[in-house]
């Protein structure tokens, strides 16, 4: 079975969040499960450096796709772990520094519809009889809105052959553009409408995917249920209920090589279940690194997150005084919403030595927070899956999470972490208090750490579920 994995990000080269991690780690697991898989991803600057032009195994010219798309070529390369990459080379669209979605001013790139429309269009082309390469996928596996038009092209074009699957990593990002983009994207006029790509007067890439894909998955069983409710369905609940038969949840795994405290080059002191005590040394090193008082008598709470409404971090800011009085230390690494960034900066200024805040994206520090913190916080309002709670389990850093989406599916209250229900500052504080009390009970705490570190959070099981779904789709 041949599968094309079409993605706008891929770790370790291009990552803005969990989708990058998933695209880095799921393909190798799928290859291990026997799937003949290739990854299609834009040829961003970081990939140009990692896989230079002159090292590409093969270069394929692409024809004219109509609309207002720029010319592009495909460069085929291979990662060190043997994953064939199809690098979509269109310098005009992708050879830009910085974030894949945002310009230096923090606003969306104005041509995102063409940039990700082209990615979708090429994914569909690969799955069509127009593809003259020896390799043609039976299934095109799309991820989020950025590849959401691929299923539409596959349904609307006469020469399409492949079946399609879309995985929703986050229903909040819907890929909305004005109606003028329809002809620019070479979509037929009849695709405009409630049964097509139109969503309240906009063209929605995500809705297109949900309408036209042969199957839909999302990244946890609980989120698959939640998004069918009007409260959590972000305007798409009716459509998702309509497609309930083809919708399922497959929980994410994590890359257990990259996130392995026994062999993590980012952390100063390696440890495993038999040497959890080394967490203490990682804690002291982290406290020094971020300017906290080096104390082992206070629990250190850790956060690594996009700073957005979704993640509920305003609830942490709201209990500033109570956390300071608990007393607990806090280290926050994140970026995103400017108001939240400013709020956290102030919080750190008001509590020097007790609260530390690093604004920015720092992969290496993220590892040291997982290793050095005692307790990890994820008070998300919604969370399709969440990866950091799983990194925390593996690093012996019991997470405090809200019972939503994948957090509810991976954390069991009192067993490997702490779970609270209501999205309120009081409920979060009560859960943190419970966690802090439990932390002082060294024996019980260690038992909880070991349970977490032993949990099976790898990709083998989820990859087998995807492989089974591909098999069903290809029939």
- Judged by CB under 6 A, which of 362, 438, 455, 465 binds ligand ADP? 362
- Could you tell me the two tokens for 256? 């257990």
* Residue 334 binding target from ligand ADP, ligand GLC, none, CB below 5 to 8 Å by type: ligand ADP
Which does residue 122 bind out of ligand GLC, ligand ADP, none, counting CB within 5 to 8 angstroms by kind?
A: none
Minimal distance, residue 156 CB to ligand GLC, in Å: 27
Burial class of 81 by CB neighbour count within 10 A (0 to 12, 13 to 18, 19+): exposed
Give me the residues paired with residue 303 across strands. 332
> Which stretch in 173-181, 381-389, 431-439, 467-475 sits in contact with ligand ADP by CB under 6 A?
381-389
* 7/181 with CB nearer ligand ADP: 7
Contact 402, 378 (CB under 8 A): yes
* DSSP structure class, residue 69: P
Binding site for ligand GLC (CB under 6 A): 17-19, 22, 169-170, 219, 252, 383-387, 406
Q: Which does 388 bind (CB under 5 to 8 A by kind): ligand ADP, ligand GLC, none?
A: ligand ADP
256 binds ligand ADP (CB under 6 A): no
The least CB distance from residue 401 to ligand GLC, in Å, is: 11
The answer to the question of residue 137 lying near ligand ADP (CB under 6 A) is: no
164: phi then psi, degrees, rounded to nearest 5: -130, 150
Phi, psi angles (nearest 5°) of residue 328: -140, 160
Pick the closer one to ligand GLC by CB: 35 or 385.
Answer: 385
Q: What is the number of alpha carbons within 13 Å of residue 315 lying toward its C-beta?
A: 25
403 or 436: CB nearest ligand GLC = 403
The reply on whether position 304 binds ligand ADP by CB under 6 A is yes
Q: Which position among 6, 14, 21, 212 is part of the footprint of ligand ADP (CB under 6 A)?
A: 21
From 403, 357, 356, select the one nearest 383 (Cα to Cα): 403
- Residue 58 touches ligand ADP, criterion: CB under 6 A: no
> Which residues inside 328-357 make contact with ligand ADP, applying CB under 6 A?
333-335
CA 372 to chain CA mean position, Å: 23
Question: Of the candidates 377, 387, 393, 403, which one interacts with ligand ADP according to CB under 6 A?
Answer: 387
The footprint of ligand ADP on this chain (CB under 6 A) covers a number of residues equal to 17
466/137 Cα distance (integer angstroms): 15
Cβ-based nearer residue to ligand GLC, 22 or 278: 22
Q: Is 204 in the site for ligand ADP (CB under 6 A)?
A: no
Q: Which stretch binds ligand ADP (CB under 6 A): 14-22, 338-346, 392-400, 459-467?
A: 14-22
User: φ and ψ at 90, to 5 degrees?
Assistant: -150, 85
Q: Kindly state whether residue 268 participates in binding ligand ADP, applying the rule CB under 6 A.
A: no
Q: Is 426 in the site for ligand ADP (CB under 6 A)?
A: no
- The CB-of-66 to ligand ADP minimum distance in angstroms stands at 33
Residue 219 binds which of ligand ADP, ligand GLC, none (CB < 5-8 A, kind-dependent):
ligand GLC
- Given candidates 58, 108, 195, 363, which one binds ligand ADP under the rule CB under 6 A? 363
Residue 350 has which token pair? 């008001």
CB atoms within 10 A of CB 178: 11
Strand order in the sheet with 58-61: 58-61, 73-78, 84-89, 36-42, 2-6, 139-143, 163-168, 215-218, 247-249
Report the distance separating Cα 297 and Cα 151, nearest Å: 55
In the list 164, 228, 305, 392, the residue contacting ligand ADP (rule: CB under 6 A) is 305
d(CA 358, CA 366): 10
- Residue range at the interface with ligand ADP (CB under 6 A); choices 47-55, 200-208, 324-332, 382-390: 382-390
Closest CA to 267 of 366, 357, 394: 366
What does the alpha-carbon distance between residue 303 and residue 317 come to, in Å, rounded to a whole number? 12
Quote the least distance from Cβ 406 to ligand GLC, whole Å: 6
**230 contacts: CB under 8 Å, gap ≥ 6:** 237
Q: How many Å separate Cα 380 from the centre of its chain? A: 14
- 386 binds ligand ADP, rule: CB under 6 A: yes
What b-and-e string marks burial along 323-332, b requiring 16 or more CB atoms within 10 Å of the CB?
bbebebbbbb
26 is an interface residue for ligand ADP by CB under 6 A: no
Question: Rounded to a whole number, what is the largest CA-CA distance in the chain?
Answer: 68
Find the binder of ligand ADP among 128, 204, 388, 392 (CB under 6 A).
Answer: 388
User: What is the binding site for ligand ADP (CB under 6 A)?
Assistant: 17-18, 21, 304-306, 333-335, 361-363, 366, 385-388
């Amino acid at each position: 079975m041949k599968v094309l994995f079409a993605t706008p990000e891929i770790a370790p080269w291009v990552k803005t969040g969990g989708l990058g991690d998933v695209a880095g780690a799921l393909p190798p697991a799928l290859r291990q499960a026997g799937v003949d898989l290739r990854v299609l991803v834009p040829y961003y600057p970081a990939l140009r450096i990692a896989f230079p032009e002159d090292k590409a195994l093969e270069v394929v010219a692409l024809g004219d796709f109509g609309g207002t798309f720029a010319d592009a070529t495909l460069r085929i390369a291979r990662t060190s772990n043997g994953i064939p990459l199809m690098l979509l080379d269109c310098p005009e669209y992708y050879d830009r520094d910085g974030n894949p979605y945002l310009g230096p001013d923090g606003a969306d790139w104005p041509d995102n519809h063409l940039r990700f429309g082209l990615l979708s269009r090429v994914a569909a082309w690969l799955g069509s009889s127009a593809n003259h390469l020896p390799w043609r996928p039976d299934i095109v596996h799309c991820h989020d809105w950025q590849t959401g038009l691929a299923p539409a092209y596959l349904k609307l074009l006469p020469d399409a052959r492949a079946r399609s699957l879309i995985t929703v990593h986050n229903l909040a990002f819907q890929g909305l553009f004005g109606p003028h983009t329809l002809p620019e994207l070479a979509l037929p006029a009849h695709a405009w409408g409630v049964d097509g790509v139109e969503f309240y007067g906009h063209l929605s890439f995500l809705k297109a995917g949900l309408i036209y894909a042969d199957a839909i998955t999302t990244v946890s069983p609980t989120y698959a249920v939640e998004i069918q409710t009007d409260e959590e369905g972000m305007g798409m609940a009716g459509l998702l209920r309509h497609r309930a038969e083809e919708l399922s949840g497959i929980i994410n795994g994590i890359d257990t090589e990259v996130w392995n405290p026994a062999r993590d080059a980012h952390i100063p002191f390696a440890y495993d279940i038999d040497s959890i005590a080394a967490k203490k040394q990682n804690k002291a090193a982290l406290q020094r690194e971020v300017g906290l008082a080096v104390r082992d008598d206070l629990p250190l709470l850790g956060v690594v997150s996009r700073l957005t409404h979704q993640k509920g971090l305003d609830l942490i800011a709201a209990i500033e005084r109570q956390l300071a009085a608990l007393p607990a230390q806090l280290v926050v690494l994140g970026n995103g919403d400017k108001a939240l960034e400013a709020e956290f900066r102030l919080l750190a200024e008001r509590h020097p030595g007790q609260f530390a805040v690093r604004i920015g994206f720092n992969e290496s520090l993220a590892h040291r927070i997982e290793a050095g913190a005692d307790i990890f916080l994820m008070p998300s309002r919604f969370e399709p899956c969440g990866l950091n709670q799983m990194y925390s389990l593996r690093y012996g850093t019991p997470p405090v999470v809200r019972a939503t989406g994948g957090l509810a599916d991976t954390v069991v209250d009192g067993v490997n972490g702490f779970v609270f229900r209501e999205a309120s500052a009081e409920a979060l504080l009560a859960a943190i208090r419970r966690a802090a009390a439990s932390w002082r009970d060294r024996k019980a705490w260690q038992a909880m750490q070991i349970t977490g570190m032993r949990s099976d959070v790898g990709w083998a099981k989820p990859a087998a579920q995807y492989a089974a779904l591909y098999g069903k789709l290809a029939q």
